[in-house]
Amino acid sequence: MEDGLNDGISCRKSHHPEEVKRNLTSRLNRVEGQIRGIKGMIEKDVYCDDVITQLSATQSALNSVAKILLEGHLKGCVVDRLNEGDDSVLDEFVVTIQKLMKK
């Protein structure tokens, strides 16, 4: 089944351990707080360099989340699919890395 969020990709699911989910959720909650803080800074006309510094910290936090997900994906999903004989996962993984490297 497809939905608008998947852009034609099948509805596969990850199975992250609860500890990893809590870690990711906690990190994303902090990022969400950082974004709200940045919005407040802009509304208060805070000096541009200070806002940019906070944006950089937020990007770094998001990159940390991506690294955790990427490691889990490689060690879990990719290995599982390779073990099932699905070599197409390698092409998918290369595209994923390329997307991350654009940023």
What the block records as the tokens of 14 is 């990850």
Identify the DSSP state of 78.
I
For 10-36, the pLDDT digits (tens) are 557 777 889 999 999 999 999 999 999
Report, as ranges of residue numbers, the positions in the chain whose pLDDT lies below 50.
1-9
Give the span between the Cα atoms of 69 and 22, in whole angstroms. Answer: 13
Q: Which positions ≥6 away from 13 have C-beta within 8 Å?
A: none
In sequence order, which ranges of 2-87 are alpha helices (DSSP H)?
A: 18-43, 48-72, 79-83
- CA dist 45 → 11, 14, 42, 72, 75 (Å): 43, 42, 5, 40, 45
Q: Considering the chain, what percentage of its residues have pLDDT values greater than 70?
A: 88
Report the top-level CATH class of 18-101.
mainly alpha
The residue type at 103: K
